[in-house]
Amino acid sequence: MDTLLTGANIVLVLLGFGLLILVHEAGHFIAAKWANIRTDAFAIGFGPVLCSWRKGIGFTLGSSGAEVVRRTGRPSRALTDAQLAQHGIGETEYSLRVLPLGGFVRMLGQDDLDPSAMSLDPRAYNRASIAHRMVVISAGVIMNILLAALLFVIAFSIGVKFEAPVVGDVRPGSAAEAAVVLSDANGDASAQQSGLQPGDRVRSIQGRDMPTFADVQVAAAMAVPGDPLLIEVERAGEVVQLRATITIDPVTNMPSLGISPAASTTLLPDEKVNQLLETALRPLGGSFTPRAGWTLTGLGPSGAKNMESVERWGQLEAAARRTNGETFNWWWRAPDGTTHEGAIRAKPQWQRLRYTDATSRTVQGIEEGIAGLVPMVEIDRIIPGSPNEGILKPGDLVYAFNGVTAPRMRAFRDIVKQHGAGDVPMTVIRDDQELELTVRIVQEGLFDSSAKLQVFPGYAWDASRLAQPMDAIAMAGPAGTPATIATPVAALGIAGGSTFSVPGYDDLSPWRSLWIAVRHAIERGHDEVQITVEDHNGPREVAIPLNSAWTAKLAALQWQSPIPQFMFGPIQVVRSSGGNPFRAVSMGLHETWNFVVLTYVTIDRLFRGTVGVEQLHGPVGIVHLGTRIADRGVAYMLFFLALISVNLAVLNFLPLPIVDGGLMLYLIYEKCKGRPPSIGFQNGAALLGLLLIGSLFLITFYNDILRLVG
């Protein structure tokens, strides 16, 4: 369960949010005082008053209103300026309220929730000029933008780490892959590889410097699809110019180059990484398992004493592909400075076999395997405290589950989900013996309760057992159109739960031998692969046919890094002003503008449906994220608060009722028409605004809780 990290961090983040709200409301307050508008309340938070301060009364627990009534016989809003002065009481109550998730300034003659609350007092908000009211309304947003710029300046004076503008992966068929090399530093394009390449450091796009990977993403997102972009990169010590035509990313539906940032060679310092490493490396027979926080420092052929230094994960991936599956050496440095040398093998890249009914919203839309054959489900780990602790053991093969023999991963998950809480029969293979067990499914989750077996299932790559083969998969047909295609094993009658072996490859693990046999058959021009399958009827020889469509797909499979990229931290670059205050200001304004644009782009994608509301964070989620960032140092914390300040400014100035942007529209209407919108319209709009904001608050709060307890 992902929990809020420390109480100290939570307090720190809440204080930061309080600062943002204070500055926003102070903008309205200062502008109102400048415009000589009477301000009755300046509040941080909503709900009941915890404590307050008022001139002439001082500090009080709760509201000072009762004391004003006791002294004058009337509430402060019913008293004139002269009457307040006569009793030595200030017009403004400064208060801290129960829910520190917002704030407000209450001005005489202005109430967001009651547009009819006007006043004849000459100092009332509604009696001020339109120009003065525009200044008052916009002052909160302006203060948040100024605060963001200031926080960015301070953060950059300290130095903030960002993802470096170094290319990691290039998606096949993307604008980056199709980019055309124009020239290198010597004006020669002939010797350069086409397209952006892993390891390229992006220097500029359209002549604009790209100091971080986020700048690259923004530049692509703001480009017009179909228009060419001039990209300058540093490749192998040389400057290379390319031209890329931006396309729409099919996943995000946004303009994109189709690249991801490069990963470093340092494993993420997360305990979960250790568990994932053990699962990933177990079938590969390495001499040791690196740990979270370790850094890969070198690679070399098997038996080599001299290592080739590495700086990014892509070099490990490239080395793994060159080995052709043979053992190679790697060197690691632990955080305590000790070094470790060992041997490891690359892992096969398995086919992603897509179900014919899979969509972008399908939870389990693919299986991993080859030519329609899929490994059995294996129990990798049991969650401590699970009712199945002591019943199931790591390494158990799921031979049958609730009456389904040799379920694939998707069927395994579906059984858990559809059965719900309760006992369910399971047959496992443990030490070559079939064991009949009864396991328990529990309901887990506070808001979105779901059935869980409380185990981590995985694919049994080092077991010679087959799950139910896939008869058909979804594969791109002619001209890239989706098509349902029969797998090579569809007509072979292979039963789930069967064992298999590959003649001539007995010295290898079964799935690795199958992968190599398929590759060898393709390389030698053979149209089938021979395997031996054994079920309850005994062994039989089976020939898996390989037609041209499948040959092309299988030939594209490569040897892969034994450790996937997501386990490594990103390559980072420190952005710092170097002590130059003018440079810090420039960098701060640059980031402020970037994130104003990004916020509007996100809102646009939300309305287009390409960003789901489930991806939005509410107050709880922002506090949770903030506690993580607080652990990364003062510079990160200031940068994070600056981002929130920018978002607060942008959201407040949207043309929605009851926020500053909606009130500004009313003033523009009043300037054009000579009168404000009708009270009925304003009341209806205020109600609609409350419903919209309330709904958004509930949705984001729900999302936040699910992230914490899910």
**Hey, is 562 helix, strand or coil?**
coil
- Compute the average pLDDT of residues 161-180: 86
Give the CA distances from residue 290 to residues 192, 334, 344, in Å, rounded to whole numbers and listed in that order. 36, 8, 11
Number of residues written out for the chain: 710
- Residue 615 in this model has a pLDDT that exceeds 50: no
What's the rounded mean pLDDT across residues 565-592? 81
What pLDDT was estimated at residue 627? 44
252 confidence band (pLDDT: 50, 70, 90)? low
pLDDT, tens digit, for every residue of 539-567?
Answer: 999 999 988 878 888 988 999 999 998 89
Q: What is the mean predicted confidence (pLDDT) over 647-661? A: 76
Band (612; pLDDT cuts 50, 70, 90): very low
Mean pLDDT of all residues in 668-693: 75
Say how many Å lie between the first and final Cα of the chain, rounded. 7
Report the pLDDT value the prediction gives residue 613, as an integer from 0 to 100: 45
pLDDT digits (tens, 9 = 90+) for 341-363: 999 999 999 998 989 887 755 66
Beta 404-405 vs 397-401: how paired, if at all?
antiparallel
Residue 198 DSSP one-character state: T
What is the residue whose two structure tokens read 């040897």?
559
Average pLDDT, integer, range 53-63: 92
pLDDT of residue 605: 57
517-537: average pLDDT: 91
* pLDDT digits 0-9 by tens, 119-130: 888 898 888 898
| Whether residue 440 has pLDDT greater than 90 | yes
pLDDT of residue 585: 74
* Listed ranges 323-337, 447-461, 477-491, 641-655; the one with the highest mean pLDDT: 323-337
- Judged by average pLDDT, the poorest of 382-386, 524-528, 578-582 is 578-582
Average pLDDT, the chain: 82
Whole-model pTM? 0.68
CA distances from 419 to 362, 363, 443, 459, 710 (A): 19, 17, 11, 22, 19
Q: What is the mean pLDDT of residues 477-481?
A: 49
Residue 192 has pLDDT above 60, yes or no: no
d(CA 65, CA 52) in angstroms, rounded, equals 10
Asked if the model's pLDDT at residue 72 lies above 60, the reply is yes
Residue ranges of domains in the chain, CATH in brackets: 1-37+108-159+578-710 (no CATH), 39-106 (no CATH), 167-262 (2.30.42.10), 265-345 (no CATH), 376-459 (2.30.42.10)
Instruction: Name the maximum alpha-carbon separation found in the chain.
Output: 105
pLDDT of 318 above 70:
yes
CA gap 295, 260 in Å, rounded: 21
Confidence of residue 654 (pLDDT cuts 50, 70, 90): confident
What percentage of residues in the chain have a pLDDT greater than 90? 35
Q: What pLDDT does residue 621 have?
A: 43
pLDDT of 473 above 80: yes
Residue 694: is its pLDDT beyond 60?
Answer: no
* 314-328, 354-368, 476-490, 573-587: which is most confident: 314-328
Q: For the ranges 468-482, 564-578, 605-619, which has the lowest average pLDDT?
A: 605-619
Angle formed at CA 636 by CA 631 and CA 638, multiple of 5 degrees: 115
**Alpha-carbon distances of 630 from 110, 335, 407, 639, rounded to whole Å:** 38, 22, 44, 10
